Amino acid sequence: MVVMIIKNKDDYYGSAIDRIAYLFWLSCGLNMLWIISFSYTWLGLSVVLIFAFAVTLSLIVKEIGKTQTGNRWLLPAAFGMYAGWLLIATVVNTAAWLVMIKWGGFGITPEYWGIIVEAVAVVLTAVITLSTRNAVFPLPIAWGYFGIHQFLMAPEGFQGQFGYLPIATLVGIVLLIGIAAFQFFKNRYQLMPDVTKKES
């Protein structure tokens, strides 16, 4: 934001301000409301808010893509990381709410649910990455999976009591890094493709 203020007369940053300002204001409002709702354990409301928040950030990333010229990296990196992190936070927030309402899970064991949720999150990440063409987006999710894996194996965590979930998590990390690498290659080694150049 500081860079955007300083460089507001620059074509790239000026255009980015025009495209994302209102969405960014909305994201800030949703962020604040989410923090308050989650802190008071109004988890149902927090799920609605974080979904709206994640969608808003994805739209911001998409809008940044429309202004992308040259080898600009600051906005795609900052908002790509932010939106990616929100996706994994949305998954965890939703899981917290389902636990709170004591959802039965159709009789499927928590371990298999964990694997299903991780697989769905990887597919969602692939869809959003291909749609926004932001190569950074999958990386914070891979980092989140690493944190999950560490906690699954840690003595103060689940102590390795699950057999398949840590393996699925590691596979998820590899796939997520692969998605990021694929998009980076597709973008001709840029975080987001240059809109002034025709895509190959």
Partner 1 sequence: MNRLTKAWISLILLAGTLVINGLGAFGFFNVPVAESCFGPVYDINYTGAFYFQHLECYLCAVDQRHGGDDHQKQG
Q: Which of 51, 73, 113, 143 binds partner 1 (CB under 8 A)?
A: 143
- From candidates 70, 110, 157, 160, binder to partner 1 by CB under 8 A: 157
Choose, by CB under 8 A, the member of 32, 116, 167, 174 that binds partner 1: 32
69: its two tokens: 């010229």
Residues 82-141 that bind partner 1 (CB under 8 A): 85, 88-89, 92, 95-96, 99-100
**Does 31 contact partner 1 by CB under 8 A?**
yes
Q: How many CB atoms lie within 10 A of CB 10?
A: 13
Go through 22-52 and write b for each residue having 16 or more CB atoms within 10 A of its CB, e for each that does not.
ebbebbeebbebbeebbeeeebebbbebbbb
**Separation of alpha carbons 33 and 47, rounded Å:** 11
Element spanning 127, H or E = helix 110-132
Of the candidate spans 21-29, 106-114, 130-138, 174-182, the one that interacts with partner 1 by CB under 8 A turns out to be 21-29
Rounded Cα–Cα distance for residues 62 and 112 (Å):
33
Among 104, 106, 156, 189, binds partner 1 (CB under 8 A): 156
Residue 189 CB, nearest approach to partner 1 (Å): 28
Residues 169-188 that bind partner 1 (CB under 8 A): none
Smallest distance from the beta carbon of 142 to partner 1, in angstroms?
9
Cβ atoms 118, 110 nearer than 8 A: no
No. of helices (H) and no. of strands (E), the chain? 7, 0
Task: Please give the residue ranges that form the binding site for partner 1 (CB under 8 A).
Answer: 1-2, 4-5, 8-9, 14, 17-18, 21, 24-25, 28-29, 31-32, 35-36, 38-41, 43, 85, 88-89, 92, 95-96, 99-100, 143-148, 150-151, 154, 156-157
